């Protein structure tokens, strides 16, 4: 066959298969009513850059406990590593988005890094809240789900205490837990955790009772729907939400950049509904009235008093954070009862603490070092 004709045929075949694949993906996105650009643009970019789906959340793990939608996961190092620390780490992620931003990509995963450092690593995956979680309140989340997760972590690892590692809103929840149930906690790491909500940036303005009636929302919807959460995040930078894709178009020949970008977009678009009653109290007690910071928040009939946290505390601040602005996180130091307090600041954004290329080189070694210094070595157990 004529080589030109053969090339033409193979290109035509490729174009046909590409158009079929992309139209099928768009059809799925339209049927699901997706509003995130990722649903429509990712198939285009993947095809043009000839990269596969980004390998997010790939550190080997198994489910060791479940309750409702919640799962407790135990992670293992990809290359068998000798466990060096008796004190396990329990990651507590936010109820917004999914936990696997902490296990982003191979070589850029905080969880993978900690496993490689010889820690026994666990994480709470809140799953996808449904009708079962709609009526659950903070007391049931903290005293029920989180307490069980802590007990099972200790039971499986054989340790008497653990390092609780809270991130973002998960950090706020973990702090409330540590204040109410300090038993079994050896250390606390608060990563990009909002504490003083009057310093909460744009979210404090948007959730002000002048504009936003949280009761009306929860009474109408139960769980906060994905679309509403998505719309809120889009409003933070509506133009950049679309134009950032143009940068990927320009760097389409750089598969590593494309894969990292797609991984981030895949995670950002993977929203889950927010449990309704937890959201109601979160907005009122944190953003609207700042009760969490002022020690007036009541969970299960008990006041959340941060001064009850007496274990060593590490606060991680992202200097360019607009979700948990530094002023909101640094306020924690003055509130806790701990005497051993350390604050580390890094020139990254909110997500950058977990996904930045600086993570494995500059950020995580310092964090792992602090935890190691405050953990029980395995030999002594």
- The answer to whether 198 is a known catalytic residue is no
Q: Which residues pair with 315 in a beta bridge?
A: 190, 343
For position 23 contacting another protein by CB under 8 A, the verdict is no
Structure tokens at 53: 């789906």
CB 315, min distance to another protein, A: 28
For position 227 contacting another protein by CB under 8 A, the verdict is no
Structure tokens at 298: 């009541």
Tell me which of 20, 32, 131, 373 binds another protein, using CB under 8 A: 131
How many CA atoms does the CB half-sphere of 332 hold within 13 Å? 34
Nearer to another protein, 11 or 345 (CB): 11
Candidates 183-191, 252-260, 318-326, 333-341: pick the segment binding another protein (CB under 8 A): 252-260
- The answer to whether 350 is a known catalytic residue is yes
CA distances to 20, 28, 41, 188, 331 from 166, in Å? 43, 35, 32, 8, 16
Nearer to another protein, 66 or 362 (CB): 66
For position 160 contacting another protein by CB under 8 A, the verdict is no
Nearer to another protein, 4 or 239 (CB): 239
Tell me which of 30, 249, 298, 369 binds another protein, using CB under 8 A: 249
Q: What are the phi and psi torsion angles at 105 (to 5°)? A: -130, 155
The residue from 116, 311, 321, 374 that is catalytic is 321
CB 61 within 8 A of CB 269: no
Candidates 85-93, 129-137, 174-182, 318-326: pick the segment binding another protein (CB under 8 A): 129-137
Tell me which of 35, 51, 64, 344 binds another protein, using CB under 8 A: 51
Rounded CA separation 336/333 (Å): 6
For position 48 contacting another protein by CB under 8 A, the verdict is yes
**Coil, helix or strand for 105?**
strand
Tell me which of 221, 310, 350, 366 binds another protein, using CB under 8 A: 221
The residue from 85, 103, 115, 168 that is catalytic is 168
Q: Rounded to a whole number, what is the distance in angstroms from the first to the last CA of the chain?
A: 73
DSSP string covering 187-213:
EEEEES----GGG-THHHHHT-TTT--
Q: How many residues bind another protein (CB under 8 A)?
A: 62
For position 360 contacting another protein by CB under 8 A, the verdict is no
Kindly state the helix (H) or strand (E) to which residue 375 belongs, with its residue range: none
- The answer to whether 321 is a known catalytic residue is yes
CB 372 within 8 A of CB 120: no
Measuring CA to CA, which residue among 240, 278, 108 is closest to residue 286? 278
Rounded CA separation 130/150 (Å): 23
CB 105, min distance to another protein, A: 6
Structure tokens at 45: 């970019």
Candidates 88-96, 215-223, 337-345, 357-365: pick the segment binding another protein (CB under 8 A): 215-223
Tell me which of 9, 32, 256, 381 binds another protein, using CB under 8 A: 256
Tell me which of 82, 250, 339, 380 binds another protein, using CB under 8 A: 250
Nearer to another protein, 52 or 347 (CB): 52
Relative to beta strand 298-299, strand 302-303 is antiparallel
**Coil, helix or strand for 377?**
strand
Q: Helix crossing, 3-32 with 37-49: angle to 10°?
A: 160
Question: Residues interacting with another protein, by CB under 8 A?
Answer: 11, 14-15, 18, 44-45, 47-52, 54-55, 67-68, 105-107, 131-132, 134-136, 140, 144, 148, 151, 202, 205-206, 208, 210-213, 216-217, 219-222, 235-240, 243, 246-253, 255-256, 258-260
Report, as residue numbers or ranges, the catalytic residues: 168, 321, 350
């Amino acid at each position: 066959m004529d080589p030109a004709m053969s090339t033409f045929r193979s290109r035509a075949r490729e174009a046909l298969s590409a158009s079929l694949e992309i139209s099928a993906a768009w059809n799925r996105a339209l049927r699901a009513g997706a509003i995130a650009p990722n649903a429509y643009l990712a198939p285009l970019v993947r095809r043009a850059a000839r990269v596969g789906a980004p390998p997010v959340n790939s550190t080997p793990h198994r489910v060791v406990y479940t309750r409702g939608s919640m799962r407790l996961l135990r992670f293992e190092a990809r290359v068998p590593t000798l466990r060096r620390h008796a004190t396990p780490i329990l990651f507590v992620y936010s109820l917004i988005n999914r936990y696997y931003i902490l296990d982003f990509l191979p070589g850029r995963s905080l969880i993978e890094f900690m496993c490689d450092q010889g820690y026994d690593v666990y994480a709470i995956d809140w799953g996808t809240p449904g009708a079962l979680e709609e009526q659950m309140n903070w007391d049931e989340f903290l005293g029920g789900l989180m307490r069980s997760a802590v007990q099972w972590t200790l039971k499986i690892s054989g340790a008497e205490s653990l390092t609780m590692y809270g991130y973002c809103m998960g950090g706020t929840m973990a702090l409330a837990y540590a204040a109410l149930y300090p038993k079994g906690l050896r250390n606390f790491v608060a990563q990009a955790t909002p504490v003083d909500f009057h310093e909460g940036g744009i979210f404090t303005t948007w959730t002000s009772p002048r504009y936003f009636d949280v009761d009306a929302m929860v009474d109408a919807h139960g769980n906060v729907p994905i679309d509403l959460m998505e719309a809120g995040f889009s409003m933070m930078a509506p133009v950049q939400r679309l134009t950032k894709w143009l940068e990927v178009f320009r760097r389409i020949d750089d598969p590593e950049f494309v894969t990292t970008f797609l991984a981030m977009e895949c995670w950002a678009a993977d929203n889950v509904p927010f449990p309704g009653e937890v959201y109601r109290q979160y907005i009122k007690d944190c953003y609207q009235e700042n009760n969490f910071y002022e020690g007036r928040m009541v969970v299960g009939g008990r006041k959340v008093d941060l001064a009850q946290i007496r274990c060593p505390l590490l606060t991680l601040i992202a200097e360019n954070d607009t979700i948990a602005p530094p002023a909101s996180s640094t306020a924690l130091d003055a509130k806790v009862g701990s005497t051993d307090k350390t604050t580390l600041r890094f020139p990254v954004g909110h997500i950058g603490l977990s996904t930045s290329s600086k993570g494995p080189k500059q950020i995580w070694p310092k964090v792992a070092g602090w935890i190691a210094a405050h953990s029980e070595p395995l030999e002594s157990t």
